[in-house]
Chains A and B, each alone.
Chain A
């Protein structure tokens, strides 16, 4: 089983719809992250959470919200999807020690039409 599991893997949705991307991890880590990947822009941090009660905005949080339902679960929501949110979304988790390795999910390809 994968250490970080994202669902769904692919999703097509219409403009204005609400959509939730889910992420779960089996590493027992406190820290979880959501990144967005666009061609030519690399990965950009949307939100991150250092524990269940800690949620922080990343570089590009506008239009997104998150929920940390449990240590192992971190979901990303688009309240009203727009076409420029079409991207590949990655969830990640890491330990809290210095230099701890970050583990990534397989990604969710989201298309907003």
Chain B
């Protein structure tokens, strides 16, 4: 089955860019998502990318997909303290919404 991996922790300074990486194993994963979880809250969909795309930009967020290497990244420009949260990468195959999640990356933004 699908396996999605992320590093567990990232620390950056306010104003810097953050890059959170994710790898997945199932080449049939067609939809790849980034979710944000703030303390005590549910999961908020940040952005997503289809496997036929290489890049997607949405304001401060840039998603890069290397389908050959099965590598996904989320870049947050001008990171703010309010961006401190856990970020989950998730993958699903065509026709299914059973999401397979990574372990989550805890982003800590220091002033």
Contact = CB atoms under 8 A, between A and B. Distances in A.
A102 B45 contact: yes
Contacts of B33: 102
Interface residues of B, number: 25
Contact of B102 (A42, A92, A96, A101): A42
Contacts of B30: 98-99
> Which bucket holds chain A's interface residue count?
20 to 34
B98 interface: yes
A109 to B, nearest CB: 9
Nearest to B97: A94
A102 B97 contact: yes
Contacts of B8: 40
A31 B95 CA distance: 12
B42 A104 contact: yes
B45 A106 contact: no
Contact of B50 (A33, A58, A99, A104): A99
By Cβ-Cβ distance, the 7 closest A-B pairs, closest first, are: A94-B97, A42-B101, A43-B101, A104-B43, A42-B103, A106-B42, A104-B42
